Amino acid sequence: MSEASMAKPNRLRWSIPARWYADPEIHRLEQERIFAREWMLIGFAAQIPNPGDTLARDIAGRPVFVIRNREGALRAFLNVCRHRAARLVPEGAGHCDVLRCPYHGWLYDAEGRLKALPEFGEAPELDKSKLGLVPVRVAEWRGLVFVTHDRNPSTVEEGLGDLVRVAERFPLERFEWQDRTLYQLDFNWKNYVDNYMEGYHIPYLHPGLNRETEAKAYTVTPGDRVCIHRAPTRTGATYDGLWLWRWPNITIGIYGDGLNITRIVPHGPSQMALEIDFFFLPDPKADPEDRRRKMQWTREVVEEDFDMCRAVQRNLEGGYYETGPLSPRHENGVAYFHDLVRRALAPELTDQEPH
Ligand code: FES
Ligand SMILES: [Fe+2]
């Protein structure tokens, strides 16, 4: 965005065009210019502790897997066999002693080198060294595993922006995974992020949360590709945790002994998945029922937004709404998110306003 737009905090901001929430071409551009360029969370180091452990999923619409090699280092590749494009490693976390393609049995090592093509036949002109798996950049940061399709990426720490600094005082590595909740939803991922980025709607959609927090005093503070949320309680107690969104699609919440990490994953112009991983600090004295209640409370608050996001999606897609003004008091996080989307998709549009 231009320096001028950043320098005028009081200028009224408008939301990105409605058609960006339903357009297949925008979805394609986002995969290429946002999700394929950023460091993306693929999973957690604790899921792949041993040599041969694997973790596979799509990142920016392309299948990727991570494998821990014999020396304990992480390697990542496109999950595509160089023979006839079979998927090598099953989705999710797993383990393989040898990387053997399930289609015709080609063998690769954990460095991605093609080692054997059983029963292939004589082919003196075939150069095995040119048929290694396509590497993908991978890095671990504090127990989280990130990959990027960018061929010349920054370091993961640079890529994570202010997340590195604001998470410093929290013991991320000590949390242990507890549970996962997955929602398949019929709306655009930006529609969900917009909703996440403001506390303006709390009195209307979240009666329970509204009884506990002072929605008027809810703040969202943008940093470098991160927005920090703060919600003072009604009793005025200071809340000592961390609650943030990180560009483009993860949120992190730390509440006492609990940690939630959420991924907002686009699956199409009007489809997304919301994946919440719940973690807790190890504590033999912890009451499992109390932890179950905490997770359930989070799910309930999250679910309270879904109907509104569905209704908004329908109206964004209808062709009868274009853009709306963003509240200077409550929607600065939405404005910041929209700036990042505009900058990624159409740099020349960063100052666009309706006429
Ligand atoms: S597709 Fe992998 S061995 Fe044929
Ligand atoms: Fe909400």
Distance from the alpha carbon of residue 86 to the mean position of ligand 1, in angstroms: 6
Cβ atoms of 317 and 26 closer than 8 Å:
no
Q: How far apart are CA 111 and CA 107, in angstroms?
A: 12
Q: Whose CA is nearest to atom 3 of ligand 1?
A: 104
How much is the pLDDT for 352? 52
Q: Whose CA is nearest to atom 1 of ligand 1?
A: 84
Atom of ligand 1 nearest to the CA of 86: 1
| CA dist list (Å): 175 to 49, 167, 258, 265 | 15, 13, 8, 23
Strand, helix or coil for residue 241: strand
Q: How far apart are CA 192 and CA 84, in angstroms?
A: 37
Atom of ligand 1 nearest to the CA of 105: 3
Q: Where are the beta strands (DSSP E) in 79-173?
A: 92-95, 99-100, 107-108, 114-116, 135-141, 144-148
Mutate to test the pocket of ligand 1, among 88, 104, 115, 119 (most ligand atoms within 8 A of CB): 104
Instruction: Report strand pairing: 325-326 vs 135-141.
Output: unpaired
Distance from the alpha carbon of residue 108 to the mean position of ligand 1, in angstroms: 11
Q: Is the CB of 88 under 6 A from ligand 1?
A: no
Report all structural domains of the chain as residue ranges with CATH numbers, in order of start: 3-37+168-349 (3.90.380.10), 40-159 (2.102.10.10)
- Which tokens belong to 172? 């991320």
Distance from the alpha carbon of residue 197 to the mean position of ligand 2, in angstroms: 9
Q: How far apart are CA 275 and CA 40, in angstroms?
A: 14
How much is the pLDDT for 239? 63
Instruction: Tell me the pTM.
Output: 0.93
Q: Is the CB of 106 under 6 A from ligand 1?
A: yes
Distance from the alpha carbon of residue 207 to the mean position of ligand 2, in angstroms: 10
How much is the pLDDT for 232? 82
| CA dist list (Å): 314 to 62, 87, 183, 209 | 28, 36, 19, 26
Mutate to test the pocket of ligand 1, among 101, 119, 133 (most ligand atoms within 8 A of CB): 101
Q: Is the CB of 89 under 6 A from ligand 1?
A: no
Q: Which one of the ligands is nearest to 86 CA?
A: 1
Distance from the alpha carbon of residue 266 to the mean position of ligand 1, in angstroms: 29
| pLDDT tens digit at each of 355 positions of the chain | 444 444 455 689 999 999 999 999 999 999 999 999 999 999 999 999 999 999 999 999 999 999 999 999 999 999 999 999 999 999 999 999 999 999 999 999 999 999 999 999 999 999 999 999 999 999 999 999 999 999 999 999 999 999 999 999 999 999 999 999 999 999 999 999 999 999 999 999 999 999 988 888 889 999 999 999 998 888 766 566 889 999 999 999 998 899 999 999 999 999 999 999 999 999 999 999 999 999 999 999 999 999 999 999 999 999 999 999 999 999 999 999 999 999 999 876 655 554 3
Residue 159 burial (CB count, 10 A):
22
